[in-house]
Amino acid sequence: MESTNDPQIDIDEARRLLAAADDLQAEARREMAAHGWQWFLVWAPICLGAAISALTPIAGWYWLVGVPVGIGGTIAVSNRTHERSGVHRHASGYWWIALAMTVINFGASAVLADEVIVVVVWVVFGFGFTGFAILERQPGAAALFAMLAVAVGIAGPLVENTFSLYVVTGVVFAVAMVGVAVGIRSMGAPA
Amino acid sequence: MTAEQHPSQQLDDLVHQRVRLGILAVLAQGDRADFTFLKDRLDLTDGNLSRHLQVLEEAGYVAITKTFEGRRTRTWVVATKAGRKAFGEHLAALQQIIDLATGDAS
């Protein structure tokens, strides 16, 4: 590493440089936030659709459509982000999370009883969405989804009607996703 | 305090330059940044930004890649592990300088 020869760096210069670096980092975060909210909006209607479909005859095969739509949306958002954003993160993290949610949920549905899987599915999605929020550097959103996942996991064995829990959780997740998307988008709006 | 102990001795001349510090600041947030984004945010010309990127690239602090999107070529800048480390250490040294001068050092 090269070092400066002048040990008496002007304190004002140090402050200016730190402030400039902070400003640019904030700009980079705003640029990413201007596009990062879309990840969450992709999954909000899918969560809501799961809750609504549970009240209809299509409940049994909803996720056969919902998951591919979610993954397709995730890929579409990553392509759009890639094209439009001047600074961004690699999309592979999102794809891996979407893939993990799919494999775990379909795997679990093959071996677990229906009353268990309706809880497991939201726990898995909750932690998956936590992963999305971590990738977006949104600690508040990550904490929210992790708490929801844990809450559903705890409530699952305690409630008698896991079907109702499934429906309510789907709506709660959808609302949380929209809230997070709006929050992140407002962060990315020009000051 | 001796000159050897002063945090300014930890400052990296390559990173200390305002534009190069700015480039690394942007790259510290994402995995990669577009050449045009950097040029606009740092208010530079193509040539000026290219020269600074070349300095950082030769130091092993950034890597530059090009992608083709249709007929358009996009130039992407990625901070290397060494670049991220140098940036983090530089910010820490600047903060230490301020802390020492204001008596906040613990």
How does pLDDT run across A35-74, given as a tens digit for each residue?
778 888 888 999 999 999 988 888 778 888 888 888 888 8
Under 8 Å CB-to-CB from A67, ≥6 apart: which residues?
Answer: A101, A102, A105, A106
List alpha helices for A85-190, DSSP H.
Answer: 92-111, 114-135, 139-158, 162-188
Q: Residue written as tokens 């929050």?
A: A183
Structure tokens that stand for A39 in this block: 């990840």
Under 8 Å CB-to-CB from A154, ≥6 apart: which residues?
Answer: none
For residue A12, the distance in angstroms to the closest alpha carbon of chain B comes to 8
| A94: nearest Cα among A82, A106, A110 | A82
Instruction: Indicate the average pLDDT of chain A.
Output: 85
Q: Running DSSP on this structure, what letter comes out for residue B62? A: E
| A141: nearest Cα among A122, A124, A127 | A127
How confident is the model over B88-104, as pLDDT tens digits? 999 999 998 888 878 76
Partner residue facing A11 (CB), from B10, B36, B97: B97
How confident is the model over B56-79, as pLDDT tens digits? 999 999 999 998 877 888 899 999
How confident is the model over A139-182, as pLDDT tens digits? 889 999 999 999 999 988 888 888 889 999 999 999 999 998 88
- What does the pLDDT read at residue B54? 96
Q: Please give the model's pTM, rounded to 2 decimal places.
A: 0.71
Under 8 Å CB-to-CB from A5, ≥6 apart: which residues?
Answer: none
Interchain CB distance below 8 Å, A86 and B98? no
For residue A152, the distance in angstroms to the closest alpha carbon of chain B comes to 33
Confidence of residue A5 (pLDDT cuts 50, 70, 90): very low
**Of A161-165, B20-24, B36-40, B50-54, minimum mean pLDDT range:** A161-165
Interchain CB distance below 8 Å, B95 and A27? no
Partner residue facing B11 (CB), from A4, A20, A137: A4
Which residue would you say has higher pLDDT here, A69 or B3? Answer: A69
How confident is the model over A63-72, as pLDDT tens digits? 888 888 888 8
User: What ipTM, to 2 d.p.?
Assistant: 0.83
Say whether residue A25 is in contact with chain B using an 8 A CB cutoff: yes
Structure tokens that stand for B71 in this block: 């007929």
Say whether residue B95 is in contact with chain A using an 8 A CB cutoff: yes
Partner residue facing A3 (CB), from B9, B42, B95: B9
For residue A127, the distance in angstroms to the closest alpha carbon of chain B comes to 23
pLDDT > 70 in chain A, percent: 93
For residue A3, the distance in angstroms to the closest alpha carbon of chain B comes to 5
